[in-house]
Structure 1
Amino acid sequence: MSFKWYLHKQAMMFGAAPRRPSNEEETDAARELKKHQKTPEETQIRKEKIAHELEYPVVNRKWKYARWLSIMIINAMFIVSFSWDVQLVEGAMTASRFLGFHMADPTAALQVTLAYKDLMLNLLIGTVTVIIVWWFFGGRAFCSWACPYHLLAEWAESIHLALAKRGWVKDHPFHRGMRVVLWVLFMALAYLTSYTVFEYINPVGIVSRALIYGPTLALMWVAFLLSFEIFFSRRFWCRYACPMGLTYGVLGTAAPVQIKYELDKCVHEGECRTVCLVPHVLDITKMGYAQDAEEYIAPDCTRCGLCVDACPQGALSFSLRGLDKMI
């Protein structure tokens, strides 16, 4: 991968638009494959495969249900530990102790450090622990495999799609750079006000605390966000607003666990982009957009596996970067 293309993938995480690779970024292997795919014979084969997929769609929800189970188990540990005083996991999603080990969400930890103008040892230990875990799996894997709000937003998204199919609602996208602006804003507010302002509106923490300690009026804010996503902007919080998602994306830039794309298997029908939670990372699956014959999805990827489930050709798969061991 050329350094320029690598920087482009990082820039996409901060709001840059996807683009085709330039001639100097494109590898010889990718160039030859693209030429081959455009021949009349291969074009006809691709059309036949797409037609067959449309007529006999393959429904696979393996990774989807695995994620749902993961989110439920992780959050259930908090509930059980508090309700029955098991002391397995103490605290909530933004800050906790697991079997005595401190765990701290990096975004929340940075806010606390800026607010108090002091770096606390326990907070540092907890943050480093969490960074190591989510660096391995890919930072935004936290969003799709652990975040309780993510599960609610995914259910809200299914309602939005059902309403959109009937023409009752329409998606209104925002610029993804807004997430960067909000990240900077909330960090500045923490420093200037000495309060972790973001945590008052952070739906991840609100939902997590409501599950563990009981509901509060703060859930009205969560209900508003979900309604906004159902009726106006699909997956608004996760795609355009959440500072936590940006932090985890940066942490997982060079994660071992990745989604790998294989150009020679792709028929470019676009089903993967339709189901993707962050579809800009899958623009490389469009005809002519791949930089290499094999490459890894951009770091904003949540590793949700929906694209893997949606691709009957096997062009997308989980892999361990550098080892290429299929999971």
Structure 2
Amino acid sequence: MTRSMGKITLARRIVQVVMLGLFCLPPLLAGWGLAGLYAGGDGEVATPAEGVFFGSLSSSAAAGIPLLDPLAALEVLASGYGLAAVGLAGAALVVVAYGLVRGRAFCGWVCPVNLIGEGVDALRRRLGIAVPERVLDRHVKIAVAAAVVAVSALVGFPVFETVSPIGAVNKGLAFSGFAGAGTLAAIVIAELFVSRRVWCRSLCPLGGLFQVLGRAGQMNVHINHDACVHCGRCEEACLADPVILAPALSGDDVIVRAGDCMACGACVDTCPARALSFSLGRLPARAQTRREERDPVAES
């Protein structure tokens, strides 16, 4: 079955592609080629790092402002290398920005591995390959994130950064850094033949860290219970894990509260009754509202 692309998904796809291109611009503007190749002559040229923006999704700088992947920062600190105040500030800035919006909005709107995962989803449907919806609990990736930090402390270097599939795409295109290519290939194979979105849903340590931050996010999927027809299309479309929609669909909540929500908008786009939309703020759960209506007098 061919699926039409909704407005939010189209906007998200544009952002994903723009983000990939953004990291490729510095070497191109400096006269270099992609994948770390230099295509110029013998004359002196600027290095890519001299531009307004430079770096990768692990570590970058925009207009002199450092931006650091918070998991990478934790790995560096745990491994004993130490981190300058400017690095800590860069990691804190990323935490605050994604924490206020939705922690896993990074996964849905920026991460190139999710973009590839969506492509694998489409390929699997075209090939008619059936796989389980899930083989591991979505909370496993939180434990994986903790293990990554612990192992980094034991071995004395940031372990995930050496095998990160995010780096295989991001750093590979710009700098020819394909250290995580093997991990990325394994993810594609697992997505095709083992389980849907198994890496992003259950194993990615960065996703686990952002899942924890996601509980404080102010951008939430809101449900209009009167409009919902319980067709199940939102659960089918969910990129994170359909189980996170259960409290809202059952009537116990008015928003998708789980930190795992990527704010990707796939469920909003696919809803035929327009019962789902984005809203700002952590609204009280519907069950809590009902209790307050029954007992409006608060204890002093």
Equivalence map 1:182-197=2 (5 Å): 182-197=144-159
Work out the CA distance in 2 between the residues paired with 1:135 and 1:106. 11
1:291 correspondence with 2:252:
yes
Secondary structure in 2 aligned to 1:263? Answer: coil
Per the TM alignment, residue 91 of structure 1 is displaced from its structure 2 partner at its CA by: 1.2
8 A Cα contact 1:260 1:297, kept in partner: no
Partner of 1:97: 61
Evaluate the alpha carbon distance shift between residue 296 and residue 221 of structure 1 in structure 2; reply closer, same or farther with a 3 A threshold.
closer
Partner of 1:199: 161
- Report Cα offsets for 1:95-117 as digits up to 9, x if no partner: 11011100011111111111125
Work out the CA distance in 2 between the residues paired with 1:79 and 1:59. 29
Equivalence map 1:266-305=2 (5 Å): 266-278=228-240, 279-286=242-249, 289-292=250-253, 294-305=254-265
Per the TM alignment, residue 60 of structure 1 is displaced from its structure 2 partner at its CA by: 4.9
Work out the CA distance in 2 between the residues paired with 1:257 and 1:270. 22
Evaluate the alpha carbon distance shift between residue 249 and residue 208 of structure 1 in structure 2; reply closer, same or farther with a 3 A threshold.
same
Partner of 1:81: 26
Secondary structure in 2 aligned to 1:295? Answer: coil
1:210 correspondence with 2:172:
yes
Structure 2 letter corresponding to 1:130: V
> Which structure is higher in RCO with an 8 Å CA cutoff and minimum separation 6?
1
- Report Cα offsets for 1:135-187 as digits up to 9, x if no partner: 22211000011111110111011112333xx3x44225222232133112111
> Normalized against structure 1, the TM-score is what?
0.74
1:151 correspondence with 2:97:
no
Structure 1 letter corresponding to 2:194: F
Structure 1 letter corresponding to 2:8: W
- Report Cα offsets for 1:42-100 as digits up to 9, x if no partner: xxxxxxxxxxxxxxx99452111111110111221111012223623211111110111
Structure 2 letter corresponding to 1:70: V
- Report Cα offsets for 1:254-311 as digits up to 9, x if no partner: 222111122111111110000101212111354xx2214x334422100000000011
Work out the CA distance in 1 between the residues paired with 2:159 and 2:173. 21
Q: How many residues align?
A: 261
1:71 correspondence with 2:39:
no
Per the TM alignment, residue 322 of structure 1 is displaced from its structure 2 partner at its CA by: 6.1
Secondary structure in 2 aligned to 1:240? Answer: helix
| Aligned match for 2:218, one of 217, 236, 256 | 256
Evaluate the alpha carbon distance shift between residue 187 and residue 60 of structure 1 in structure 2; reply closer, same or farther with a 3 A threshold.
same
Runs in 1 of length 4+ with deviation above 6 angstroms? Answer: none
Partner of 1:240: 202
Equivalence map 1:112-191=2 (5 Å): 112-116=76-80, 118-163=82-127, 166=128, 168-171=129-132, 173-191=135-153
Work out the CA distance in 1 between the residues paired with 2:3 and 2:195. 28
Evaluate the alpha carbon distance shift between residue 190 and residue 154 of structure 1 in structure 2; reply closer, same or farther with a 3 A threshold.
same
Structure 2 letter corresponding to 1:183: A
Evaluate the alpha carbon distance shift between residue 181 and residue 322 of structure 1 in structure 2; reply closer, same or farther with a 3 A threshold.
closer
Equivalence map 1:47-66=2 (5 Å): 59-66=4-11
Partner of 1:45: none
Structure 1 letter corresponding to 2:252: Q
Partner of 2:193: 231
1:316 correspondence with 2:276:
yes
8 A Cα contact 1:169 1:232, kept in partner: no
Q: Which runs of 5+ in 2 are unaligned?
A: 31-47, 284-300
Between 294-303 and 126-135, the greater mean CA deviation after superposition:
294-303
Evaluate the alpha carbon distance shift between residue 285 and residue 270 of structure 1 in structure 2; reply closer, same or farther with a 3 A threshold.
farther
Work out the CA distance in 2 between the residues paired with 1:316 and 1:157. 23
Secondary structure in 1 aligned to 2:258? Answer: coil
Secondary structure in 2 aligned to 1:176? Answer: coil
Partner of 1:307: 267
| Aligned match for 2:181, one of 219, 244, 254 | 219
Q: Which runs of 5+ in 1 are unaligned?
A: 1-56
8 A Cα contact 1:115 1:195, kept in partner: yes
8 A Cα contact 1:272 1:311, kept in partner: yes
Work out the CA distance in 2 between the residues paired with 1:194 and 1:76. 33
